Amino acid sequence: MDAAARACAPPDVTWTGINWAEVQRQVSRLQIRTVKATQSGRHNKAKALQWLLTHSFSGKALAVRRVTENKGKNTAGVDNVTWKTPAAKTNAIASLKRRGYSPLPLRRVFIPKKNGKTRPLGIPTMKCRAMQALHLLALEPVAETTADLNSYGFRPERSTADAGGQCFISLAKKASAEWVLEADIQGCFDKISHDWMIANIPTDKVILKKWLKAGYVYQNELFPTDAGTPQGGIISPVAANMTLDGLEAMLAAKFPRPKRTEKGLKINMVRYADDFIITGCSRELLELEVKPAVAEFLAERGLVLSPEKTRITHIEVGFDFLGWNIRKYNGKLLMKPSKANVKAHLDRIREVIEANKTSTQVSLIKLLNPILRGWANYHCHVVAKEAFARVDHEVWSMLWQWAVRRHPNKGARWVKGRYFKTQDNRNWVFAATEEQEDGTKRERVLLKEADTPIQRHVKISAAANPHDPQWAQYFETRWGQKMLNSGRGRAKLYRVWLRQDRLCPDCQQPLTKYTPWGVRHVVKRADGGTDAASNLQMHHLTCHRNQRYAENEVV
């Protein structure tokens, strides 16, 4: 099927009849070609490929699938329309046309922030969301190819753990920088210059301008949008990232790395969305040279640094970044959960417990476990054992008050026997027995954060691009390691290992914990393959490497 044939939907297409593996394969193929064109400087070629992708049936189908299967699928915009039926989704694919497209204004809502203020959130209509998702498929390969190396926010395959890992690399050594500029952009999403984005972001300029100027509705009143990109739009995080991309290159050009015989300025940047830090060898360097250079860079984009959140700190005093406190103690760098983050976590737990004073013990455990597990997993890469133990103690205190309040006429011994069990060598286990629908019984136990193992995160390679086929094996290996570190992932890999009779499919030799091994997809995810155990293979790393060399020689 050629590109022209793929651009139009088959006349008898139905939502349930779409071959999603083929759809993903066609989109990935165009994205890979876009990456290669961008890397070689053929920007007109990349633009043509973007146009082809945004007018293809595969791109439109994938965009509709994304907005109808995510968490916001039941949240309507100002038109109060959602796409729930297969027929509605099929019609939505046909409706994603550039000609005659006019976006409706956003529905404005406000969500609370940690500092007591509110953050405006714009909710587009389903069609606008799908159009943004469609153009994001074409824009993301370019954005990933041209992005700052140490930018980690709202990018595929990157996370806060990677940003924390880069902070450790930049600050941990004895000779590392001792001064840190903690920077925060004031109202970043709300103040980005529209003119700058339209002139510099490589996407359809006409469509982008329509999105930016669509306005928003609040309390039945229409307001214009003269600056900023709406928080809530699918394409907004990538557009904001591309606005800030180039900051790292600017710093490298103005403050080049020295030769071996010269003393370095130790300038390093780590950015997550609009929060970033810049290291330096002295306070004067950061205050008098780096900060003005950053302010000038941002001014071109209509942005300014936040005076209340931007400060310069010595590493022995420490600073908070992404929920961690990063500080050197007697020359040793430690990253711990910040006091503010621990307090916010305990406040959330307290709210849940107080809101469920009359709930059953099983229901309360079901509500608390995801909160405890999520926070512990977020901090399991840093020095968090002490924080975990403190949280467990505070949670026990809250639960004891919850239990005692329910039985004012009972003694402490009775309350303990009713709600707290003894398991193995551990007392005071908050647990309850739940009866299943099939009549069997299951014991629900409250998770203890101190049981979460501390394991150092392996930071992603700065140049890694998930849309570049040269990095396919790298991401496949990282995906396998991530599975191995999760409980369900280990169980899945064990099933794959047994299915292969514990042998490598390439050399038919045993796979053991003493032989380096990896995981690969039989049908690659870029070609529509799934993460099911039936689509996975375990292999010796050397065998797979030799196989790839042989394939390259044949090609």
pLDDT in tens, 263-300: 678 999 999 988 999 999 999 999 999 999 999 999 99
Q: For the stretch 419-431, what's the b/e string if a residue is b when 16 or more beta carbons lie within 10 angstroms of its beta carbon? A: bbbeeeeeeeebb
Question: Which has the higher per-residue pLDDT, 146 or 256?
Answer: 146
247 belongs to a structural domain: yes
Give the confidence band of 1 by pLDDT, cuts at 50, 70, 90: very low
> Does pLDDT of 548 surpass 70?
no
Residue 13 has φ and ψ, to the nearest 5°, of: -70, 140
Examine the domain organization and report whether 158 and 282 are in the same domain: yes
- The predicted pLDDT at position 513 comes to 60
Examine the domain organization and report whether 354 and 394 are in the same domain: yes
Question: Which has the higher per-residue pLDDT, 186 or 477?
Answer: 186
Q: What is the mean pLDDT of residues 390-413?
A: 95
Examine the domain organization and report whether 92 and 186 are in the same domain: no
119 belongs to a structural domain: yes
State what percent of residues in the chain have pLDDT above 90.
Answer: 61
Examine the domain organization and report whether 166 and 309 are in the same domain: yes
Q: What is the mean pLDDT of residues 455-468?
A: 92
257 belongs to a structural domain: yes
Which residue among 305, 335, 365 closes a domain? Answer: 335
Query: Of all helices (H) and strands (E), which one includes residue 376?
Result: helix 361-379
Q: What is the mean pLDDT of residues 445-454?
A: 94
Question: Which has the higher per-residue pLDDT, 492 or 269?
Answer: 269
- The predicted pLDDT at position 307 comes to 87
* Residue type at position 374: G
Examine the domain organization and report whether 214 and 242 are in the same domain: no
Examine the domain organization and report whether 138 and 153 are in the same domain: no
> Does pLDDT of 193 surpass 70?
yes
Which range, of 198-202, 351-355, 391-395, 544-548, averages the lowest pLDDT? 544-548
- The predicted pLDDT at position 316 comes to 95
| Cβ atoms 189, 228 nearer than 8 A | yes
| Cβ atoms 215, 317 nearer than 8 A | no
> Does pLDDT of 475 surpass 50?
yes
Domain that holds residue 93: 1-146+204-225
482 belongs to a structural domain: yes
* Number of domains the chain contains: 4
174 belongs to a structural domain: yes
Give the confidence band of 448 by pLDDT, cuts at 50, 70, 90: very high
- The predicted pLDDT at position 545 comes to 60
In the three-class reduction of DSSP (H, G, I as helix; E, B as strand; rest coil), residue 112 is classed as: strand
* Residue type at position 77: G
> Does pLDDT of 443 surpass 80?
yes
Q: C-alpha angle with apex 14: 8 to 16, nearest 5 degrees? A: 130
> Does pLDDT of 436 surpass 90?
no
Most trustworthy range by pLDDT among 38-52, 73-87, 522-536? 38-52
Examine the domain organization and report whether 55 and 124 are in the same domain: yes
Examine the domain organization and report whether 28 and 117 are in the same domain: yes
Which range, of 9-13, 302-306, 387-391, 462-466, averages the lowest pLDDT? 9-13
Most trustworthy range by pLDDT among 422-426, 492-496, 516-520? 422-426
199 belongs to a structural domain: no
- The predicted pLDDT at position 6 comes to 43
Each as own residue / partner, the long-range contacts of residues 90-93 (CB below 8 Å, 24 or more positions apart, any chain) are 90/13, 90/14, 90/15, 92/64, 92/68, 92/126, 92/127, 92/130, 93/9, 93/13, 93/57, 93/60, 93/61, 93/64
In order of 35, 73, 158, 471, the CA distances from 465 in angstroms are: 9, 29, 10, 6
122 belongs to a structural domain: yes
Examine the domain organization and report whether 110 and 217 are in the same domain: yes
What is the model's pTM? 0.85
Examine the domain organization and report whether 287 and 367 are in the same domain: no
> Does pLDDT of 402 surpass 90?
yes
- The predicted pLDDT at position 27 comes to 94
> Does pLDDT of 258 surpass 90?
no
- The predicted pLDDT at position 418 comes to 93
> Does pLDDT of 423 surpass 80?
yes
- The predicted pLDDT at position 267 comes to 93
Residue 251 belongs to domain with CATH number: 3.30.70.270
CA 205, 206, 211, 213 torsion: positive or negative?
positive
> Does pLDDT of 152 surpass 50?
yes
Which range, of 66-70, 176-180, 410-414, 529-533, averages the lowest pLDDT? 529-533
Examine the domain organization and report whether 139 and 153 are in the same domain: no
Residue 237 neighbours by CB distance under 10 Å = 18
Which residue among 335, 370, 389 closes a domain? Answer: 335
Give the confidence band of 487 by pLDDT, cuts at 50, 70, 90: low
Q: C-alpha angle with apex 405: 404 to 410, nearest 5 degrees? A: 50
Q: Which two tokens stand for residue 377?
A: 């997993």
> Does pLDDT of 10 surpass 70?
no
In order of 151, 185, 243, 244, 515, the CA distances from 299 in angstroms are: 20, 11, 11, 11, 54
Q: What is the mean pLDDT of residues 97-114?
A: 86
Examine the domain organization and report whether 362 and 491 are in the same domain: no
- The predicted pLDDT at position 2 comes to 38
Mean pLDDT over each residue of the chain, to the nearest integer? 88
Which residue among 451, 485, 508 closes a domain? Answer: 451
552 belongs to a structural domain: no
